[in-house]
């Protein structure tokens, strides 16, 4: 399933890549082999590759069309980028993501807002494109919404990702730095969800009594529903990330709100459900 409705808001996943990629014991340093073996039967085949044992993750954006605006939440890995820590994400030439956006009936010039849940490489890559020897905003008519804390931390780190995918947006005058509780309007607003990064945000959608929330990287895999204390090795502040993840699952399980995940395997969207002292994730039916 790629597209759903939240009231009168249409939500569509724009996938760049999905497949087996991370060793679970390395991705979640607190995971034990015993615990992983216990969960294998429900992780395979959707969330774990049965042959290699690797976690399956998609890398995707959410295209959101409200009655007012056309919005992208996160922009994947992109092309031509310098990613020092992951060779397979460096200097990509794959146009799958841009083609999928076009197939959804949206060109780069149609995007009004780009929201980045955080500024890691796989969430801001298509922010910019290399044109005539320089990085320029891919979406010429969009305002790019960055949480102020997140931008400040990325600016301090000053990685190639910031230099190529974030700074050129600021220099082009297209970035809007906002508080982590920023509201665009009555249909789209942010929730502060720190821990994975300093200024990480979730993006809420509301229309006609229906609700959904895009959770970014506060959680990476459904195995963390059973083990909310398993932080990803990429979490900046492990204790804070754990607390955020636990609270987020509890409140959304209680409300029954639809959750749009960044990295849970397709169809990626569903509901947290309380199970004992932890949770499970019920996917939307394909």
Is the CB of 16 or the CB of 217 nearer to Zn ion?
217
Taking the complex as a whole, how short is the minimal distance between the CB of residue 131 and Zn ion, in angstroms? Answer: 26
Is the CB of 122 or the CB of 164 nearer to Zn ion?
122
**Cβ distance 110 to 64 under 8 Å?**
no
Which neighbouring-strand residues pair with 57? 19
Taking the complex as a whole, how short is the minimal distance between the CB of residue 120 and Zn ion, in angstroms? Answer: 6
CA distance 86 to 106: 30
- Pick one of 149, 150, 191, 217: the residue that binds Zn ion (CB under 5 A): 217
The distance of Cα 132 from the centroid of its chain, to the nearest Å, equals: 29
Q: Is 254 left (phi over 0), alpha (psi -120 to 50) or beta?
A: alpha
- What b/e readout covers 17-48, taking b as 16+ CB neighbours within 10 angstroms? bbebbbebeebbeebeeebbeebeeebeeebb
Residue 226 in tokens: 């059973």
Q: How many residues bind Zn ion (CB under 5 A)?
A: 2
Is the CB of 16 or the CB of 122 nearer to Zn ion?
122
Query: Can you give the length of the chain in residues?
Result: 286
Taking the complex as a whole, how short is the minimal distance between the CB of residue 43 and Zn ion, in angstroms? Answer: 19
Determine the Cα angle at 124 with ends 266 and 15, to 5°. 25
Encoded one letter per residue, x for contact with Zn ion by CB under 5 A and - for no contact, window 159-198 reads: ----------------------------------------
Taking the complex as a whole, how short is the minimal distance between the CB of residue 274 and Zn ion, in angstroms? Answer: 25
> Does residue 16 interact with Zn ion by CB under 5 A?
no
Taking the complex as a whole, how short is the minimal distance between the CB of residue 22 and Zn ion, in angstroms? Answer: 11
Residue 37 in tokens: 């073996």
Taking the complex as a whole, how short is the minimal distance between the CB of residue 235 and Zn ion, in angstroms? Answer: 11
Taking the complex as a whole, how short is the minimal distance between the CB of residue 280 and Zn ion, in angstroms? Answer: 22
Q: Please, which of residues 35-54 interact with Zn ion by CB under 5 A? A: none
Q: Using alpha carbons, select from 92, 66, 63 the residue that is nearest to residue 77.
A: 92
Q: Using alpha carbons, select from 18, 10, 155 the residue that is nearest to residue 77.
A: 18
Piece in contact with Zn ion (CB under 5 A), picked from 10-18, 114-122, 195-203, 249-257: 114-122
Is the CB of 219 or the CB of 258 nearer to Zn ion?
219
Is the CB of 6 or the CB of 57 nearer to Zn ion?
57
CA distance 245 to 218: 6
Taking the complex as a whole, how short is the minimal distance between the CB of residue 123 and Zn ion, in angstroms? Answer: 6
CA distance 81 to 126: 9
Q: Using alpha carbons, select from 78, 88, 101, 89 the residue that is nearest to residue 165.
A: 78
Is the CB of 232 or the CB of 258 nearer to Zn ion?
232
Is the CB of 128 or the CB of 261 nearer to Zn ion?
261
- Pick one of 122, 149, 191, 235: the residue that binds Zn ion (CB under 5 A): 122
Is the CB of 9 or the CB of 150 nearer to Zn ion?
150
Residue 103 in tokens: 């197939």
The residues binding Zn ion (CB under 5 A) are 122, 217
């Amino acid at each position: 399933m790629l597209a759903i409705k939240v009231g009168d808001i249409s939500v569509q996943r724009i996938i760049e890549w999905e497949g087996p990629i991370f060793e679970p014991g390395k991705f979640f340093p607190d995971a034990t082999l015993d615990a992983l073996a216990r969960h294998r039967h429900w992780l395979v085949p959707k969330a774990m590759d049965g042959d290699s044992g690797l976690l399956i993750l998609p890398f995707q954006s959410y295209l959101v069309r409200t009655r007012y605006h056309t919005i992208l939440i996160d922009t994947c890995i992109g092309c031509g980028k310098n990613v020092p820590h992951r060779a397979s994400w460096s200097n990509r030439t794959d146009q799958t993501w841009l083609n999928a956006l076009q197939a959804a009936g949206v060109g780069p010039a149609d995007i009004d807002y780009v929201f980045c849940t955080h500024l890691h490489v796989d969430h801001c890559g298509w922010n910019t494109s290399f044109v005539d020897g320089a990085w320029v905003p891919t979406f010429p008519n969009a305002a790019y919404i960055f949480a102020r804390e997140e931008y400040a931390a990325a600016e301090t780190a000053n990685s190639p990702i910031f230099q190529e995918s974030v700074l050129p947006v600021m220099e082009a005058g297209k970035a809007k730095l906002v508080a982590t509780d920023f509201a665009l309007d009555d249909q789209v607003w942010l929730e502060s969800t720190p821990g994975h990064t300093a200024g990480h945000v979730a993006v809420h959608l509301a229309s006609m009594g229906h609700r959904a929330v895009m959770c970014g990287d506060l959680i990476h895999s459904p195995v963390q529903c059973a083990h909310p204390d398993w932080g990803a090795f990429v979490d900046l502040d492990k204790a804070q990330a754990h607390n955020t993840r636990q609270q987020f699952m509890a409140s959304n399980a209680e409300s029954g709100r639809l959750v749009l995940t960044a990295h849970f395997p397709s169809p990626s969207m569903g509901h947290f459900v309380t199970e004992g002292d932890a949770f499970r994730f019920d996917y939307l039916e394909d």
